[in-house]
């Protein structure tokens, strides 16, 4: 059976980090989970709810602001081993950071406690918990 995992966060580069913090807080209720830097001058900002904003005031791309996908894994070692069979490359951040052939960056993280991945995957976003 394949290892189980879920998307824990999406990291995006943003020109105006404060605008994004306010929008996701005021519109969607996503409060701060963590900040790198200070709240007044954040370098990176994570929300409860899966968003990570990376301050890049000089970012000039029209789209493609995706920094990386953070994936919570039931067994990160098994996921890394399985990923290497697909020809991914390890990134400088560590063995759990993978660059896919099309350039997408993926951060694989070990879930704790062990059952939380199954619990997260049991939720049907359209109608609540899945029936077993």
Q: Are 97 and 91 in contact (CB under 8 A)?
A: yes
Q: Domain tally for the chain? A: 1
pLDDT score, position 129: 55
Using alpha carbons, list the distances in angstroms from residue 45 to 53, 67, 129: 5, 13, 29
Q: Tell me the per-residue pLDDT of 30-65, one tens digit each, with 9 for 90 and over.
A: 899 999 999 999 999 999 888 999 998 888 776 557
Q: Tell me the per-residue pLDDT of 63-115, one tens digit each, with 9 for 90 and over.
A: 557 889 999 888 899 899 999 998 899 999 999 999 988 788 999 999 888 77
pLDDT score, position 66: 85
- Tokens coding 107: 């951060």
- The domain in which residue 58 lies consists of 5-129
**In CATH, what number is assigned to the domain containing residue 124?**
3.10.180.10
127: pLDDT strictly greater than 80: no
pTM: 0.75
Q: Is 20 helix (H, G, I), strand (E, B) or coil?
A: helix
Closest Cα to residue 77, out of 110, 119, 112? 110
pLDDT score, position 120: 79
pLDDT score, position 4: 83
Q: Is 74 helix (H, G, I), strand (E, B) or coil?
A: coil
- Tokens coding 63: 């789209």
């Amino acid at each position: 059976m394949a290892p189980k995992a879920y998307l824990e966060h999406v990291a995006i580069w943003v020109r105006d980090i404060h605008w994004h913090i306010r929008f996701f807080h005021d519109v969607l209720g996503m409060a701060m989970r963590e900040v790198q830097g200070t709240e007044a001058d954040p370098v990176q900002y994570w929300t409860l709810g899966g968003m990570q904003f990376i301050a890049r005031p000089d970012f000039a791309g029209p789209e493609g602001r995706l920094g990386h996908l953070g994936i919570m894994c039931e067994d990160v070692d098994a996921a890394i081993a399985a990923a290497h069979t697909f020809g991914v490359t390890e990134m400088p951040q560590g063995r759990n950071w993978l660059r896919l052939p099309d350039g997408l960056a993926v951060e694989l993280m070990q879930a704790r406690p062990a059952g939380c991945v199954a619990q997260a995957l049991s939720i049907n976003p359209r109608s609540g918990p899945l029936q077993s």
